[in-house]
Copies of this chain bind each other. A is one copy, B any other.
Amino acid sequence: MRLAKLREEVLEANLNLVRRGLVLSTFGNASGVARKEGLIVIKPSGVPYHRMKSKDFVVADLQGQVVEGRLRPSSDLPTHATLYRAFPAIGGIAHTHSEYATAWSQARKPIPCLGTTHADYFRGAIPLTEVMTDDEVAGQYEASTGAVIIRAFKGLDPMAIPAVLVTNHGPFAWGADPCEAAENAWMLEAAARMAFLTAAVNADASALGRTLHDRHFLRKHGKQAYYGQKKTKN
């Protein structure tokens, strides 16, 4: 029952990636986790988005072992599993090759926070992972991708900055549930695009002041939030 609902949410999150123009062909994937059951629901590998059905989704445990599903899971499942184990507050993950966030990943530059659009969703620059070693790439590549992300968040709160750039690859985003993860992937792309344009207009554009950055983030997040309508969950 719980899992049936999660399947629907994960399908919806995957479709949102398509609707927002964040993925093309079979690139990208979104997943969700049922914390109590310790189960992950994830997109099958290489299946076109327009043909996916919720029953095609694969169920795995937090070690990344498949427990249900007739199709192969996304090859990035070990990355998702690693993140779910390391970041207990997150309920969903979205991985895309969205153009501008990927360009920053390929350029090996974190995305600086240059304005309030970014600050509304991310309380700091979007971190960039270290370059993976040849051994990490040749070995358990996808699990190592998770490990390198975790290292990039040493001293950072993954719920305050719910996205990362994997060097020479692309972005991962997450959130309280699969659809929030997909929304953060969308907002990341918007921030990446605006930062790109800003840097082109002024190569020396400087990061937002901390006071303004916090003001915008805290207008939307946490107990003092006053943006939006009152609701049970943030």
Contacts of A138 in B (CB 8 A): 211, 215
Do residues A228 and B45 form an inter-chain contact, with CB atoms below 8 A? yes
Task: Tell me if B115 and A194 are in contact (CB < 8 A).
Answer: no
- For the complex, is A63 an interface residue (Cβ under 8 Å from B)? no
Contact check: which of B116, B190, B196, B205 meets A24 at CB < 8 Å?
B190
Other-chain contact of A229, B45, B117, B219 (Cβ < 8 Å):
B45
A168 within 8 A of partner (CB): yes
A86 at the interface (CB under 8 A from B): no
Q: Select which of B170, B187, B199 is within 8 A of A115 by beta carbon.
A: B170
A156 at the binding interface (Cβ < 8 Å): no
- Evaluate contact between B168 and A202: CB separation under 8 angstroms: no
Of the listed residues A71, A72, A106, A195, the one surrounded by the most CB atoms of chain B closer than 10 A to its CB is A106
User: Does A108 make an interface contact (CB < 8 A)?
Assistant: yes
Kindly provide the distance from the CB of A189 to the nearest chain B CB, expressed in whole angstroms: 10
Interface size class on chain A is: 35 or more
CB pair B25 A183 closer than 8 Å: yes
The answer, among B47, B211, B227, for a CB contact under 8 Å with A46, is B227
Whether a CB of chain B sits under 8 angstroms from the CB of A134 is yes
Name the distance in Å between A119's Cβ and chain B's nearest Cβ. Answer: 9
Q: Which residues of B contact A132 (CB under 8 A)?
A: 212
**Which residues 208-234 in A have Cβ within 8 Å of B in the complex?**
208-209, 211-212, 215, 219, 226-230
Q: With a CB–CB cut-off of 8 A, which chain B residues contact A183?
A: 25
Known contacts A107-B198, A168-B212, A200-B196: does B228 contact A25 (CB below 8 Å)? no
Chain B residues contacting A219 (CB-CB under 8 Å) are 75
**Contact digits for A145-182, partner B, Cβ 8 Å, 1 yes 0 no:** 00000000000000000000000111000000000000
Which 5 A-B residue pairs are closest in the complex by CB-CB distance? A46-B228, A103-B197, A107-B202, A107-B201, A106-B198
22 inter-chain pairs at a CB distance below 8 angstroms, sorted by A residue, are A46-B227, A46-B228, A72-B226, A72-B230, A99-B190, A99-B193, A100-B197, A103-B194, A103-B197, A106-B114, A106-B194, A106-B205, A107-B205, A109-B201, A109-B202, A115-B169, A116-B168, A134-B211, A137-B215, A138-B211, A168-B208, A196-B201
